[in-house]
Structure 1
Amino acid sequence: MTDDGKGENEQAFRYMYQLADFLQTSDNAVRIFLSLLLGYPLACIYRKYILAQSPMIQHLFFTFFGLGLCYFNFGTDVIHSIINVALIYVTLLTVGGSMLSVILAFVINMGYLCIGYYYTMNESYTIKWTTPHCVLCLRLIGLVFDVYDGATNKEKLSADQLESCLLKIPSLLEICGHTYCFGGFLVGPQFSMKKYLDFVNRKHLKGPNDKPNSIKPSVHRLMIGMLYAVIYQLTNPYLPDSALTSKELLDSSSFLYKCFFITLWSKFMLYKYIGVWLISEGACILMGLSYNGTEIIQKSETKSGGVGNGLGIRDVREKWDGCKNVKIVDYERASMCQDLVSSFNINTNKWMAKYVFKRLKFIGNKDLSQVATLAFLALWHGLYSGYFMNFFLEFFLIKFEREFTQVPAINNLVTYIRGMPLGHFVIWVIKKVHLQFILGYSLVSFCLFTYSRYLKVYCSVFCIVHVVHMILWPAFFYWYKSMNRPIKKLESDAPKKVEVGGTGDGKIS
C-alpha cells in the first residue's frame, strides 16, 4: 500500500475516533453502527444488480460483503466464525440428520462461544468478535436441528418444525450465504436456512423481473430505529450503567430515589438494543428477506357524503414482519412480564422455544423445562453470574404474575377499581410501574455482570424483589393453596343420579 493510501486510511479512522469521542462511546460501537447503516446501500445494490442473478451469485454476494463487514469490525478475529462454520459443515457431512449431529452442534457451537467468552471477559461490556458469534451460534445449531428434522418422520414434527425442516444438507456456499447475510449477521435477527433459501430462490416474488415492494416499510423501520438510537444516546450520559454503583446513588440517596433511578435507567437502557434491531430489520426488509406472506385487510366503502354504506372491500397487503425482533407498540404499552417477553427480542425467544423448550417436553414438567431454557439462554449471553441472576429472576417474576391472578380477593379488588372512573388507566399505570421496576431490578445484574457489583445495588434497596417475589409471595401462595385445597367427598356423600321420566339419562329435573 502506498503512503497516500495509508494516510487516507488513517484519516478515515481518525474521523471515526473523533465521532466516537463526540458521542461518548467506543469506536467499536461506531463501527458496528456504521456497518448496520451500510446494510441499506448494500441492499439497494442487491435489489438492482444481484436479485435477478442465480442463487450461487447471491450466496457469493452475501458471503463476500458479510465477511468484509466482519473484518471491518473485528479484523483477523473473523477467523473464528470461519472455523465454526467449517466445523459444523464437517459435522453435517459426517453425521448430519442424526441425534449425534444435534449433540455435537450444541457442544461445538456453545463450546467455541464459551471459550471465546472466557478469553475476552472484562468488567464492562465491549463489542468484540463474540457479539456476532452468539448470533452465529444459534443460527448454526438451528441449521443442524433443521437437517435432523428433515430426516425425521414428518408425522412426528410440529407445524413450526415442518416449516423449517431441510430435506437435504445445504452446500458450504449456501451455509456461508446464510451465515454472513449482512442483514442479520452482526446483531440478528435469527432466520432459518429454509427461509433464506426461499428468499434467494425468489419465492417471495411473482415474476423474474419483479422486485420486493418493501422500500416504504424499510424506511419506516429505519426511521424508528434511528429515533430510538438518538433517544438512548441523549439519555445515556445522565443514566449510565456506572451510576448504579456510584457512591452518590448507593450512599447518599433514599430508598425511593434508588428505585426510581433503577426504573428510569432500565427504560432507556434497552433503547440501544431496540434501535439496532430496528435498523438491522429495515435492511432485511429492503432486500426482501423479511417477506412473510400476505394478509387480507377488510375496508368499508364510503359514500360520497363520507359515511360508510356497510359494503366491505377486501384488500390484500404484503407482510414484511418475517424478521421483526421487537413489536414497538406492544412493547411500550406492556404492563406484564409475559407481554414484554412476547414483544421484545422476538426471534431469539422463538428460537429458544422451538429448539430448546419444546424439545424438553420429555421432562414432563413445564417449570423444569423453562428453568433449563433460561439457564441455556443465560449461558448463551455469557459466563458472568449476572446473566444467570437476571434470568433466574425472570422465572420467578413470570411465575408470580401467573399466580397473582389466581387469588379471588385480588381479582375482586382489581375489578372494583376498574369499575371506577379512569379505573382501567389506574390499574395499567400501577402494573406498568411495577413491571418497569422489576425489569430494571433484574437488568442490574445483567449489566453489572459480577456479583460483587450487582449485590451492592441489590443490598442498597434491601433486595426487595428477591424478598417479595421469591420468598414472601411463594410462602403466601403456598399457604393460600393449602387453605383452599378442595376437600375430597366420601363416596357415600356423593349425589346420586336420579332418572326422570324413564329416560335413563341420569339428569335431575
Structure 2
Amino acid sequence: HIDRQLKGYEGSSKLDYSGALMIATIKLSSYGFNVMDGRQQDKNTLTEHNKRMMIDQYPSMIEFYGWICFFGGFLVGPTCEYMDYYRFTNYFFISSERKIPPYKATIQKIIWFVITAFIVAFVGQKYNYFKMLNDDFTRLPLYTKLMVYAITGRVQHCKYGSIWLLAEGACVLSGFGYNGIKNGKHQWNRLDNVYWYNLEMGQSLKTLAGYWNVGANNWLKNYTSIKSSNAMVITYAISSMWHGFQPGYYWMLTAYGIYQVLAGRVRSLVRPLVMSACDPSVPLRGWKTLYDITCYISSHLLVAFLMAPFELLHISRSLKAWSSIYYIHIWLYFIVWGFLLVFGQTLSSIQNQRRVRVLEADNNIKNEIISYKQ
C-alpha cells in the first residue's frame, strides 16, 4: 500500500500486486488464529467455525505454500481457509465427488464473466465515476445525475465481480468449488465471492454488504470483529486499512458502517409498523410494498454514492463528485437521524399500543368463549 502511495496520484500503471498481498494478509492472519485455536486447551470456548478451521498440526512447506499460492484466488480472491484447502487436497481426490463433472458450472461462470466484462468494457465507458468530474455532468438535472449514479454503481459491481467470476470458474474447474448437494442438485458455490441475485435484489445495506466480497466479509466476521457498541464501524475501519491508505477507502467503508447503524435503527422502528400486529410475519398490504420499494431504492442509491470515493480515492475528487448531487446523502443522513430523535419514542409507543390492542382483543375473545361455554 505504501509503495502504491509513493507512485503518484494514480499509482503504478503496471500490474498492481497489492491485490495478491491483500489475499495473503487474509490467509496469514486467519492461519495464525487457527493455529492458536488448535493449541487452546478448552475447545468449548471456540465457535463452530473456529473448531472446524483450527490447526493442531503444522503443514509441510509444500502444503503451506500450495495453499498461499493456490492459483484459483491468488491475485484478487476468492480466498479460502487452510483447513478447507487441506481437506480438498487430501480427501477430495480420493472421494466419489471427484467424479462429478464440473464443466457445466464452469461454463456458467465463464458466460457470466463475459456478460459482466462486456458491461464494463462498453457501458463503463459512459457510466463511471471519473465522468462525474466533468463540468458537463454537473450541469445535468438532479434526477438525471441520480440515474447515472445508479447505473454507475451497477457497472462497478460488474467491474470487480467479473474478475471474481473468472477466478471462481478456475476454482470450480479444479473441484475446489464443490459444496455438496442441496435440493437434489450439486452445488459449486464453496468459493463464490458474490451472490448476484441477493446482491441485486437486496433491500438493506446489511444485505448488500453480506453478499459482496464474501471471502473478505467472512474474514472480518470470524477474525477481526469485536464485541462493542461500535463494532460495525470498527470492522469497516479495519476493512479500509486492508484495502489501502488512500482516503477514499476510509470515506467509503467507514461511512458505510455509519449509515448501516442508521438503517438498522430505522428498520427497528418502522418495519414493525408495516407488518401485522397480530402476526409480525404477515405484511400489511400496500404499506409493506411501499416500505420495500423505498428501502431498495435508497439502499442501492446510497451504495452508488458511497462507492465514488472508493473509485476516485482522493478527497478533492470525491468532494467534486458528491457536490454535483449537492451532498444529498449527507443531508438525508442528518435529517433521518433528527426525525428519529424527535419521533423515535413516538414510533416505539405506537408499536406498544398495537401490541396492547392485540392482547386486549385476544383476552376479549377468550372471555367471550368462556362466557359462551358457561
Give TM-score, length-normalised by structure 2.
0.83
Cα pair 2:274 2:291 within 8 Å, conserved: no
Note closer, same or farther for the CA distance 1:277–1:341 as it changes in structure 2 (3 Å cut).
same
Using the TM superposition, give the Cα deviation of residue 378 of structure 1 relative to its aligned residue in structure 2, in angstroms. 0.4
Distance 1:450 1:414 in 2: 43
Note closer, same or farther for the CA distance 1:444–1:160 as it changes in structure 2 (3 Å cut).
same
Q: Which residue in the other structure is 1:369 paired with?
A: 231
Amino acid corresponding to residue 160 of structure 1 in structure 2: H
Q: Which residue in the other structure is 2:354 paired with?
A: none
Task: State the SS of the aligned residue for 2:136.
Answer: helix
Amino acid corresponding to residue 344 of structure 1 in structure 2: W
Q: Which residue in the other structure is 1:419 paired with?
A: 285
Distance 2:156 2:318 in 1: 16
Note closer, same or farther for the CA distance 1:121–1:382 as it changes in structure 2 (3 Å cut).
farther
Distance 1:338 1:445 in 2: 20
Note closer, same or farther for the CA distance 1:134–1:210 as it changes in structure 2 (3 Å cut).
closer
Residue by residue, what CA displacement relative to the aligned partner does 1:97-116 show, whole Å, maximum 9, x if unpaired?
xxxxxxxxxxxxxxxxx433
Distance 2:296 2:38 in 1: 43
Note closer, same or farther for the CA distance 1:194–1:338 as it changes in structure 2 (3 Å cut).
same
Cα pair 1:191 1:323 within 8 Å, conserved: yes
Note closer, same or farther for the CA distance 1:210–1:249 as it changes in structure 2 (3 Å cut).
closer
Q: 2:115 aligned with 1:227, yes or no? A: yes
Q: Which residue in the other structure is 2:342 paired with?
A: 479
Which one has more relative contact order, counting CA pairs under 8 Å at least 6 apart? 2
Q: 2:104 aligned with 1:242, yes or no? A: no
Q: Which residue in the other structure is 1:502 paired with?
A: none
Q: Which residue in the other structure is 1:257 paired with?
A: 144
Using the TM superposition, give the Cα deviation of residue 291 of structure 1 relative to its aligned residue in structure 2, in angstroms. 2.3
Using the TM superposition, give the Cα deviation of residue 212 of structure 1 relative to its aligned residue in structure 2, in angstroms. 4.3
Cα pair 2:5 2:246 within 8 Å, conserved: no
332, 335, 350: which is aligned to 2:203?
A: 335
Using the TM superposition, give the Cα deviation of residue 426 of structure 1 relative to its aligned residue in structure 2, in angstroms. 5.5
1:275-290 equivalences under 5 Å are 275-290=162-177
Task: State the SS of the aligned residue for 2:10.
Answer: coil
Q: Which residue in the other structure is 2:26 paired with?
A: 138
Task: State the SS of the aligned residue for 2:80.
Answer: coil
Cα pair 1:123 1:449 within 8 Å, conserved: no
Distance 1:219 1:418 in 2: 43
Distance 2:7 2:68 in 1: 23
1:71-470 equivalences under 5 Å are 114-123=1-10, 127-153=15-41, 154-203=43-92, 205-206=94-95, 210-250=98-138, 252-295=139-182, 297=183, 315=184, 317-357=185-225, 360-361=226-227, 365=228, 367-408=229-270, 412=273, 419-420=285-286, 427-469=291-333
Distance 1:233 1:339 in 2: 27
Gapped regions of structure 1 (runs ≥ 5): 1-113, 298-314, 487-509
Residue by residue, what CA displacement relative to the aligned partner does 1:281-310 show, whole Å, maximum 9, x if unpaired?
011011111122333x2xxxxxxxxxxxxx
Distance 2:136 2:347 in 1: 48
Amino acid corresponding to residue 339 of structure 2 in structure 1: F
Note closer, same or farther for the CA distance 1:418–1:233 as it changes in structure 2 (3 Å cut).
farther
Distance 2:180 2:234 in 1: 34
Equivalent pairs counted in the alignment come to 342
Task: State the SS of the aligned residue for 1:406.
Answer: helix
Amino acid corresponding to residue 233 of structure 2 in structure 1: V
Residue by residue, what CA displacement relative to the aligned partner does 1:175-195 show, whole Å, maximum 9, x if unpaired?
210111110101101101111
Cα pair 1:334 1:340 within 8 Å, conserved: yes
Using the TM superposition, give the Cα deviation of residue 231 of structure 1 relative to its aligned residue in structure 2, in angstroms. 1.7
Amino acid corresponding to residue 350 of structure 1 in structure 2: N
Task: State the SS of the aligned residue for 1:201.
Answer: helix
Note closer, same or farther for the CA distance 1:225–1:425 as it changes in structure 2 (3 Å cut).
farther
Residue by residue, what CA displacement relative to the aligned partner does 1:33-61 show, whole Å, maximum 9, x if unpaired?
xxxxxxxxxxxxxxxxxxxxxxxxxxxxx
Task: State the SS of the aligned residue for 1:479.
Answer: helix
Using the TM superposition, give the Cα deviation of residue 318 of structure 1 relative to its aligned residue in structure 2, in angstroms. 3.3
Gapped regions of structure 2 (runs ≥ 5): 277-281, 350-374
Using the TM superposition, give the Cα deviation of residue 204 of structure 1 relative to its aligned residue in structure 2, in angstroms. 6.2
Using the TM superposition, give the Cα deviation of residue 166 of structure 1 relative to its aligned residue in structure 2, in angstroms. 0.6
Note closer, same or farther for the CA distance 1:485–1:404 as it changes in structure 2 (3 Å cut).
closer
Residue by residue, what CA displacement relative to the aligned partner does 1:266-288 show, whole Å, maximum 9, x if unpaired?
11122011111111101101111
Residue by residue, what CA displacement relative to the aligned partner does 1:382-420 show, whole Å, maximum 9, x if unpaired?
111111110122112222221112335x75468899624
Task: State the SS of the aligned residue for 1:270.
Answer: helix
Cα pair 2:4 2:11 within 8 Å, conserved: no
Residue by residue, what CA displacement relative to the aligned partner does 1:86-133 show, whole Å, maximum 9, x if unpaired?
xxxxxxxxxxxxxxxxxxxxxxxxxxxx43343345336854111221
Using the TM superposition, give the Cα deviation of residue 246 of structure 1 relative to its aligned residue in structure 2, in angstroms. 0.7
Using the TM superposition, give the Cα deviation of residue 328 of structure 1 relative to its aligned residue in structure 2, in angstroms. 1.7
Distance 1:196 1:424 in 2: 44
Using the TM superposition, give the Cα deviation of residue 424 of structure 1 relative to its aligned residue in structure 2, in angstroms. 6.3
Q: Which residue in the other structure is 1:50 paired with?
A: none
Cα pair 2:233 2:258 within 8 Å, conserved: no
Residue by residue, what CA displacement relative to the aligned partner does 1:327-373 show, whole Å, maximum 9, x if unpaired?
1221221122122112211111111100101xx23xxx2x3222221
Distance 1:257 1:125 in 2: 34
